[in-house]
Chains A and B, each alone.
Chain A
Amino acid sequence: MAKASLTTAGHGPDLNRRRTTRSVGENAIRALLALAAVVSVVTTTGIVIALARDTIEFFKEVGVGDYLFGTDWAPLAGGGQQSFGVVPLVYDTLYLTAVGLLLAVPLGLGSAIYLSEYASARARRLLKPALEVLAGIPTIVFGFFALTFVGPEVLKTVLKVEVGTFSALSAGLVLGILVLPTIATVADDALSAVPTSLREGAFGLGASRMQVSLRVVFPAALSGIVAALVLGASRAIGETVIILVAGGAVANLTGDPREPMQNMAAFIAQTAQADIPTQGTEYNTIFAVGTTLFVITLLLNLISIRFVRKYRQVYE
């Protein structure tokens, strides 16, 4: 009965259904491979549980409103000075990201337009991997660069900006150098995916190369470019070491980029290194901040995936 129904269901002669040594082996391999795919799902589940468990502990001690809207961030202070308002930390994270993007967005998009619309095929084949070399440099090296070169040499000596050892400006600018190749390569992919016929049409109507680039290709690739920017922003928001080394050790509610600033990831790293008991509210701050960071980057990533899907639908 079962066999007959399978055949009528359109599976044809039911050769594979017979259990042979061969088919048992094949199925075992399939199951084993699927098991490996489960590892990534388990990873996500693990991240969520690891963050949620101690975040719940944290919110037993600290009010959700006090955390989300409090403007005084001093979780490790002693003697009644302790305060858990996360606003300064989130503000600094976004501020540093904004400084980085201010540098990386124009330069990254400029590089992308050059690679996709101006460079010869040969130059592009050489230049793009070279840009990826920049993307492959470990962030600790960028941190070193920000602390020992960009801060004291470039900002202080050459540009005469009064910065201390740690400043939002030096950390933020180097953050920009870090995300520049990400924005450039992803935006270049989006621009190159625009069909040549659109360019030819515009050239045929007498448009110049600049007009074609800015008014035809750029708008056509807009959703892919937005995805590139969101990806860059998400990398900058989650960066740890550059800020840890060159940004400073305090979260500051200030508009002055010459002041030190700390972002969420650097706070987590600093607190994990600090000599505090691994139980209690101080330590659980790591997880509450981790959850905040995770949620922000997750939202950004979902937005970016949506934009990428949209631009694929149009031209494929």
Chain B
Amino acid sequence: MRDIYLDNNATTKVDHAVVDAMLPFFTEQFGNPSSIHRFADGVARAIKKARGQVQELLGAELDSEIIFTSCGTESDSTAILSAIKAQPNRKEIITTAVEHPAILNLCENLEKEGYTIHRMPVDKCGRLNLEAYKNLLSEQVAIVSVMWANNETGTLFPVVEMAELAHAAGVMFHTDAVQAVGKIPMMLQDTKIDMLSLSGHKLHAPKGIGVLYLRRGTRFRPLLRGGHQERGRRAGTENTASIVGLGKACELAMEHMEFENTQVKAMRDRLERGITEQIPHCFITGDLTNRLPNTTDIAFEYIEGEAILMLLNKAGIAASSGSACTSGSLEPSHVMRAMDIPYTAAHGTIRFSFSRYNTMSDVDEVLKVMPGIAANLRKLSPYWDGDGPVANPEQAFQPTYA
């Protein structure tokens, strides 16, 4: 049985062309890009090429606006910590309730140090209220950090518009675009976005490489100081092979942008249509009209996500869940809670995220097994009776909670 990978928002397979581009930099051109000898010959040039490839995918004005980091989390931390360090008198941060932990946990930590964190709520479709956002912008705010696309639902936030508003109010704007880069087109030079984070392993580059886009002229304080690498904005010997790999991955993402938004989207759409038609009591979460093309997050009511994943895994299908039990923390997904999804559904959310490596036969396979999985687990569920949920499930089953 062929294994089917539908967890591309978690991480992606490294493209073979990316691996090929990287290999010489491990054993042949392994020299330090700063060195003056033949082992370093061409390395600096290769990094420059990669920088240009990233620049093109992002639509950045200059290649010097691209800073290579070790991961998306480092880029996020660098952006926020730089903003507060460069503007010590501004003690507020605006973000959303549905950010990645790379932002939320950092903000929580800053809150302990006396910062005021505004976590904008979302509605049941995962959308922000821009009027409320406008009212939060002030001279007290050091930075706004809003994700471009949500990792669980794929819902897109209007970051271009929000950056304009921040800019007009004199506030820096950062976006965690880890899920968006390579999946939707962007042209940063036409926006007021000051900083943007991306992560290589979400777009078929290896793990351990990320980028912070830093608009020219944005006041900046490095997180890591030391050597002159990245023009002194991110010290540390360059991860040359991965930088080259990321460059190649960005080039490939650019080439496949249309495919992603047509073919990949078609697979996603067929899967969610098939599931919602065949399986009763399930629904798609997030903003259905404004989403990443590759992501669907489906809540299966009255059953639990980890149990679904274990059965999918047994059938050779890899996906992920917003259920409490799949995270080490035992906390139900903060994204589902922020959208006010009832807990009997929130715990049963499954995210299927596609890539250009998937095929329509993958979709068929999932559609073949998913109805049986849902039915079998519902047989075990105290909320389910025969062919449907028990009448008034919340009243019929009222466990004593610990």
Are A and B co-members of a single complex?
no
